[in-house]
């Protein structure tokens, strides 16, 4: 009998990335997700700051991941609010209303460090990215015409923001931003593309989702939530 063919195991580093949803200052959940996929490239979908206890420490971890090329980091609406408030003097009240005070507190009075991180975020966080056949954007698919500037940062799958068409050859998109209380959701659209939403409320429910886009398998990481807040009481999840 001939020897069986050897089993080929793909190099994890060459597989499509693992996407991680909104973190909101939960360093414990981020580190647990990273430990679950130690050899994979990561796409972070944004909203690293606000409401959770460790925003400064999360940004430090994101910087390490990006600078070591282990991760690609996108820009969420909370990240944009931080940038606008600290670097451009715009929307400070809106940012504070949506958890900016907890981010400021996490720097323990070191405003220079906050400004330095805001500058780094403004220079390095991507609005969206496409890897292989998948587009990643914080909120919704970007408008390919460029007219809707807010779709990929602020849009929601509630009918007000369209599911804009994907580029040729791109079949999936992955998003955070809109909290999915009962777990990640995959929308099969009429053009036969799929849109995933994987923000499962890290700061509200203690649940962070990592989506393996090689197998389209979500992994749920759950730790106790730091406080009993619910997203229905907030302005901009």
Q: Could you confirm whether 124 is annotated as catalytic? A: no
Question: Residue 234's pLDDT is what?
Answer: 42
- The reported pLDDT for the residue numbered 236 is 56
Supply the DSSP string of 183-206, one letter for each residue. S-EEEEPTTS-EEEE----HHHHS
pTM, to two decimals: 0.91
Distance CA 27, CA 87 (A): 24
31 in Cβ contact with 62 (< 8 Å)? no
Catalytic residue among 9, 24, 41, 78: 78
- Asked whether the beta carbons of 55 and 25 are under 8 A apart, the reply is yes
Angle between the 111-124 and 55-67 helix axes, to the nearest 10 degrees?
A: 40
Task: Tell me the average confidence (pLDDT) per consecutive run of 10 residues in the chain, 237 residues long.
Answer: 50 88 98 97 98 97 98 98 98 96 97 98 98 98 96 96 97 98 96 98 97 98 70 45
pLDDT value at residue 7:
47
Say what the pLDDT of residue 114 is: 98
- Which CATH entry fits the domain spanning 14-233: 3.30.470.20, 3.40.1350.10, 3.60.21.10, 1.10.1060.10? 3.60.21.10
């Amino acid at each position: 009998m001939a020897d069986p063919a050897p089993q080929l195991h793909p190099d994890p580093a060459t597989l499509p990335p693992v996407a991680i949803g909104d973190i909101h200052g939960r360093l414990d959940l981020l580190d647990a997700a990273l430990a679950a996929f130690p050899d994979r490239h990561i796409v972070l979908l944004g909203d690293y700051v606000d409401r959770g206890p460790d925003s400064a420490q999360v940004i430090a971890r994101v910087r390490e991941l990006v600078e070591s090329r282990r991760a690609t980091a996108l820009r969420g609406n909370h990240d944009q609010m931080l940038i606008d408030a600290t670097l451009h003097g715009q929307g400070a009240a809106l940012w504070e209303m949506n958890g900016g005070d907890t981010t400021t507190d996490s720097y323990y009075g070191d405003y220079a460090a906050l400004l330095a991180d805001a500058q780094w975020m403004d220079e390095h966080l991507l609005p969206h990215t496409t890897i292989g056949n998948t587009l990643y954007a914080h909120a919704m698919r970007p408008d390919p015409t460029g007219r809707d500037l807010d779709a990929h940062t602020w849009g929601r799958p509630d009918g007000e923001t369209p599911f804009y068409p994907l580029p040729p050859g791109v079949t999936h998109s992955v998003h955070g931003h809109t909290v999915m209380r009962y777990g990640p959701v995959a929308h099969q659209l009429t053009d036969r593309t799929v849109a995933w939403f994987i923000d499962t409320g890290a700061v509200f429910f203690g649940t962070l989702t990592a989506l393996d886009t090689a197998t389209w398998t979500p992994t749920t990481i759950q730790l106790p939530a730091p406080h009993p807040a619910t997203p229905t009481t907030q302005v901009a999840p």
